[in-house]
Amino acid sequence: MKCRHCASELTHTFLDLGFAPPSNAYLTKSDLTKPESYFPLKVMVCDKCWLVQTEDYAQATELFDSEYAYFSSTSFGWLEHARKYAEKMISDFGLNKDSLVVEVASNDGYLLKNFVESGIPCLGIEPTTSTNAVAESLSIPVLCEFFTEKLGAQLADEGRQADLIAGNNVYAHVPDINDFTRGLKAALKPGGVITLEFPHLMRLIESTQFDTIYHEHFSYLSLYTVTQIFKFAELRIWNVEELPTHGGSLRIYGCHADSNREELPAVKAVLEEEFRRGMQDLSAYLSFQAKADSLKNEVLEFLISQKKNGKKVVAYGAAAKGNTLLNYAGVKPDLLPFVCDAALSKQGKYMPGSHIPILKPGDLVDYRPDYVVILPWNIAKEVVSQLTNELFIDVKFITMIPSLKTL
């Protein structure tokens, strides 16, 4: 395999999680009697550009289909994050009725609805029909396509270049990251701005966030690597912000390479911190497998010991990251009888691989568990605040990343 960015030969394994089904491929009851698709979940690191990337195995269309079950609006915290982002962009860049905002991977309209409410023209690009149907119901125009260089050029030819292109948690999801980035350049006005948010690889390594590795994530990104990818596409990063979302993310601000925007000190500061943390040193990557294996063993030991002690343990949040954790650890309904989730699109279905049933949050009350494991640990505070008033006082909330912790 060759690096998806620089085409160098890949010889170093960052993490091998064996075989697993796609983490968002939730199952119906009838699916349980059919064969389930499994793919390799192996991640390589390029020792030239330091792009961490999944091993080649499948087409993106196999992962993002009409049954795609992730709806961004399920999380109230994420909705608030999107609202604040829109306010900031409108204020910082003077967006108005004569501007155009394009969001790549617009999902269910969670972000663009804020621009619509402010009277700013926008366009969503979203390949999954299940989510873009919701966005269209909010009066958001959507192109039901994957974003590519060809589509970016098409938008430019149609006079629909953007003042602002937003991409929240999509950059890691694209199999051809160079083509996608060239598409951003094509679709951007000469004085326009690109913002991309993605989990920071440095934080993933720091906190052993191996559960955020799944098939839908083709790339795991440092600022250093993204600056190389942008430069290759004749773009430039001029600002970066560190965000607490998803266990530690970056929001980068990009522009055309020949833009007169001044690079802000934050870019140099993050690049220097990455270098200090060894992000251009193989040892930082080659030691990660042992950390993930140790944490997997800790999770299993906890669940087995609680079962032996007669304690009832269930989970909350049928998140993709939870599927990675449970499948790698080999957890089945005998150790975790069910998972509750607020998303109607997931209730009544089963977790891929583990076949753990997904119930509605209200079922927690009747079951009276001793422990609730919050699988989407990145929104643990939000979940605890929602559930505390509904559950009896003795229940304990647990997160498992970066280590087992009682909240």
According to the model, what pLDDT value does residue 394 have?
78
Residue partners of 166: CB distance under 8 A and separation at least 6? 85, 89, 101, 102, 103, 104, 111, 195, 196
Number of H helices, E strands in the chain: 13, 17
Which residue ranges make up each domain of the chain? 146-285, 289-406
| pTM attached to this predicted model | 0.90
Supply the pLDDT for residue 69. 47
Tell me which fold the domain 289-406 belongs to. Rossmann fold (3.40.50)
How far apart are alpha carbons 178 and 230 in whole angstroms?
A: 8
252 CB-side CA count, 13 A: 27
Distance CA 236, CA 250 (A): 15
CA 102 to chain centroid:
19
Predicted local confidence at residue 215, as pLDDT: 87
Query: Do the two domains 146-285 and 289-406 of this chain adopt the same fold?
Result: yes
Give the pLDDT of residue 358: 98
pLDDT of residue 133: 81
Return the pLDDT at 59. 54
Residue ranges in the chain whose pLDDT is less than 50: 60, 65-66, 68-69
The Cα–Cα gap between 43 and 401 comes to 19
pLDDT recorded at residue 134: 86
When the candidates are 3.30.70.20, 3.30.830.10, 3.40.50.150, 3.30.420.40, the CATH number that belongs to 146-285 is 3.40.50.150
What residue type is 87 in one-letter code? Answer: E
The predicted-structure confidence for 345-388, as pLDDT tens digits, reads as follows 899 999 999 999 999 998 988 898 999 999 999 999 988 988 87
CA angle 175, 70, 46 (to 5 degrees): 25
Residue-level pLDDT at 65: 47
